[in-house]
Amino acid sequence: MQAIDRKLLRDFKRLWIQAVAIALVLACGVAIMLTSVGMYNALSETRAAYYERNRFADVFAITTRAPRSLLPEIAHIDGVLGIEARISGEAILDIPGRNRTAVGHILSYPETADPVLNVPLLVSGRFPDPLSSGEAVVNAPFANANVLTEGDSFSANLRGRKRELTIVGTVLSPEFIYTIGPGAMMPDNSAFGVIWMPERAAAAAYDMTGAFNNISLSLAAGAQTPPVIDALDTLLEPFGGLGAYDRTTHQSDAFLDAEINQLKGMAAILPPIFFGISAFLVSMVMGRIISLERSEIGLLKAIGYSNTEICLHYLMLAGLIAVVGVGVGWLAGTWLARDTAAQYAEFFNFPYVIFRVSYWVYAASGLAGLLTTSLGAAHAALKAAKLAPAIAMQPPAPPRFKRSIIDEAMARMQLAQSTVMIFRSLLRWPLRSFLTSLGLAFAVASVIAATFINDALDEIVDLAFYQTNRQDAMLLFASDVPETAVEDVRHLPGVLQAESQQFHAAILRHGHLSKRAAVESRRPGNDLSRVLDAEGRLLDVPPGGLVLSERLAGHLEVQAGDSIEVEFLSGRRETFLLPVTALVELHFGLGAYMDFETMNAMFRQAPRVSTVNVTLDESQTEALHAAIKKTPRITGIVEMNENRRSFQDTIEQNIVVMNTIYIGIAVLITVGVTYNAARIQLSERARELASLRILGFGRGEVSYILMGEMMLIALIAQPFGWLIGAWIAQLMTNAFSSDLYAIPLVLKPATFTVASLVVLTAAFVSVMIVRRRLDGLDLVAVMKTRE
């Protein structure tokens, strides 16, 4: 080992605290990159494998009642590879030991062979006997939530007939990775389940003998989806087809796809921030090391070391920091990715997770870490290599200063000498002060990026559950019923208020752009389910017009005053040209709203309703559920309080974890930046501070100079951090928004206050750690050192 190599190891040992502080910041970037990219790959590969092994379909369609004699024509559509025709329906379930109503989605299980598509994966038990009328399998999350096992029974209200079903097995299905009930906003496995019955029993229950109302298609490789959808719609239209759709709009896959895109966005936004801060810290430390080691550099050159060897020596010192940071980041990232993968498997009802962080991810993150530190050290290393031996052996020329307007201002203000020294130090090295402040600003920004989500979710809950949807429950019907059903609902136990609402599936078109959405209508003045304008005022949709959510309008590129085509997929399937009268903010789904009378007039029908919104007397909740179980027309109930509670509980768990991680990251950034900057200040000004002690300044006054400068830089960083944090929050809201939901940008003063307090506290603690070194300064030894 050469002398220069031993010097490298000694330098790293001497600087280990500073090196670890930098390495931990670098490790954050590596860990987040591994976690986000690793989870992105894990979810993508698991989904692809699960879909392929269980033959998840490419195209789906719902119809009222189509004859099975139509299947050969569907099979001959160009590009169609496989067909699965089924019977589906909704049913009210009566689960033993559960007072509240549960909703079941009934699917038929083929009589003669296994399913061709959307193959359920058996978790326990067996599939139902084709000749049985009372056997069924249920999805495993529903069984687990209600503590149901093989042999247990429950009753289902199948179109007015109560049938006892016995569980013979539990399954998972690629079709229900994200299981959410009709009208619900969040999954509730105890209240919504998927039930597979023998085809013969399902056909008898829903009057579908020789017919189907649910069909799935798989396509050949290279087949274009739009022509297949058009051909399928043409064939199903006479039989009440509601419009075919592909995987991208399948509810379960859409939720999963939105999560995958969020991970992709996180991988693109966050790691570069940490790599950039690491580069700055390395540059700051290496620059100071080279300034202090000028004589050693000159000596190394004098005894024969080349410029290249000197440059590589300092680059290798930065490389050792990178090795530590990358190693810690790999360990933390692998653990986080594996733990997150297990959580995703449970949340999304995967039977397994293919967790394999590719080698290229490790290689890319490691290379990014090495490049980060190398770029940070490059300027200082090149500067060291260019030093001539004779010049390097001499002390650096003192900088030249002259009085400025700021000096004159400080003199007029009669500031204390120690305060003047703080300001002069900042002005002497403006670029370094700015970069230090910028590093702390990113720490502030990371806290803002985490905590703004709290306020955003509070606004979502307030708007979705208290302002627009104020009902206690929604009662769902299998098909639209006359509006007189609202009066019947009012007579149910515990119902205090009841209002009608109507939904119709439609395709909205504007030029070459189109979007599938549900068009809602309600009577003017409805108080439970409401539409609010941008100012939060109640908005009644004017007759003949259409009100769109801002996101839906963005997809179609329309503004208020434009006209769009609306093709309804139910009733007479007619197309109307309607003006957009207003845009509203909506956080869940893509909303389109019409006047109640206008919609019924378009459909040429007496007023009908799809759901009834109700407020309830909580003391009669059990009586209401008992009555619903006996009411044939009602196929489901959505309890908004339970939805809200489920939403808040699910989000709260994620928020606590995310806030802890991001605040920890902010503290690491702050400690890394502040500690290194304070150590450099101390090493640069040790002789100056020792002189002040000898001249009679107390420890407090000397400490004030060191601490005051760093805390002033930290204060200057706050407004920069607020701006950067708001920018990152905006990027996150854009990355996390989808057709299913949108996160609003809500930035409150408390968010900025918390971020500043976290960073300023961490900065103060870091400076206090360095300040303790002042007490241990050997004044005589310090004064003997050369400038």
Rg of the chain, C-alpha, whole Å: 34
Do 420 and 352 lie in a common domain?
A: no
What pLDDT was estimated at residue 403?
66
CA distances from 63 to 208, 213, 235, 632, 754 (A): 12, 5, 11, 21, 54
156 domain residue, yes or no: yes
Domain presence at residue 480: no
Distance CA 481, CA 315 (A): 76
**Run means of pLDDT, 10 residues per run, the chain, 787 residues:** 76 76 81 81 86 92 91 92 91 85 90 87 91 90 90 86 90 88 77 91 89 93 90 90 86 80 72 76 74 74 80 83 87 82 78 80 86 83 75 63 67 73 75 80 83 80 80 85 87 89 88 86 85 74 86 87 87 86 79 88 88 88 84 81 74 66 75 76 69 70 77 89 88 70 81 89 84 64 52
Measured from the Cβ of residue 575, the count of other Cβ atoms closer than 10 Å reads 12
DSSP string, 446-493: HHHHHHHHHHHHHHHHIIIIIIIB--SEEEEEEEEEETTHHHHHHTST
pLDDT, position 448: 87
At position 112, the amino acid (one-letter code) is T
Same domain flag for 332 and 203:
no
Q: With respect to residue 483, please indicate whether it lies within any of the assigned structural domains.
A: no
131 and 264 part of one domain: no
Amino acid at residue number 100: R
CB burial of 176-206 (b: ≥16 within 10 Å; e: otherwise) equals: bbbbbbebbbbbbbbbbbbbbbbbbbbbbbb
Single pTM value for the model: 0.74
CA torsion sign for 86, 91, 96, 98 is positive
- List the CATH number of the domain containing 545: 2.40.40
Q: Are residues 134 and 211 in the same domain?
A: yes
638 has which bridge partners?
A: 474
Q: Does 660 lie in the same domain as 611? A: no
By the 8 A CB rule, do 510 and 495 touch? no
Alpha-carbon distance of 86 to 33, in angstroms, equals 43
Q: In this structure, is residue 399 part of a structural domain?
A: no
Joined tokens for residue 459:
């606004």
Residue 588 has a CB neighbour count (10 Å cut-off) of: 17
Last residue of a domain, one of 254, 284, 300: 254
Per the domain annotation, does 204 fall within a domain? yes
Domain count, the chain: 4
DSSP sequence for 412-426:
HHT--HHHHHHHHHH
Residue 787 confidence (pLDDT): 47
Residue 319 lies in a domain: yes
**Taking phi first (over 0 means left), then psi (-120 to 50 degrees means alpha), and beta for anything else, what does residue 721 get?**
alpha
State the pLDDT at residue 56.
93
Residues 442, 357 share a domain: no
Q: Quick one: pLDDT at residue 172? A: 93
Query: Are 500 and 584 within one domain?
Result: yes
pLDDT of residue 427: 74
Residues 81, 195, single domain; the answer is: yes
Among 255, 99, 744, 259, CA closest to 461: 744
649 and 761 inside one domain: yes
Report how far apart, in Å, the C-alpha atoms of 308 and of each of 286, 289, 382, 762 are.
Answer: 17, 18, 9, 39
How far is 538 from 525, CA to CA, in rounded Å? 8
Residue 280 near residue 435, CB atoms below 8 Å:
yes
- SS percent in the chain: helix, strand, coil, step 5: 55, 20, 25
If one counts every other C-beta atom within 10 angstroms of the C-beta of residue 587, the result is 21
Q: Which of residues 225, 254, 283 is at a domain's end?
A: 254
The length of the chain, given as a count of residues: 787
* Of residues 130, 252, 131, the one with CA closest to residue 194: 252
Give the SS3 label for residue 741: strand
Whole domain around residue 144: which residue ranges?
A: 65-254
pLDDT at 61: 92
Residue 644 shares a structural domain with residue 757: yes
Write down the pLDDT at residue 618: 84
Distance CA 276, CA 283 (A): 11
Final residue of a structural domain among 254, 269, 293: 254
Q: Can you tell me the distance from the alpha carbon of 375 to that of 270, in angstroms, rounded to the nearest whole number? A: 19
User: What beta strand segments (E) does 57-120 contain?
Assistant: 59-67, 80-86, 88-94, 102-109
In this prediction, residue 75 carries a pLDDT of 92
How much is the pLDDT for 768? 84
Amino acid at 272: P
Which tokens is 34 given? 């591994």
| pLDDT attached to residue 78 | 92
**516 and 456 co-located in one domain:** no
**599 with 653, same domain?**
no
The per-residue b/e assignment along 393-404, b for 16 or more CB within 10 angstroms, e otherwise, is: beeeeeeeeeee
What per-residue confidence (pLDDT) applies to 657?
Answer: 65
**pLDDT for the residue 655:** 65
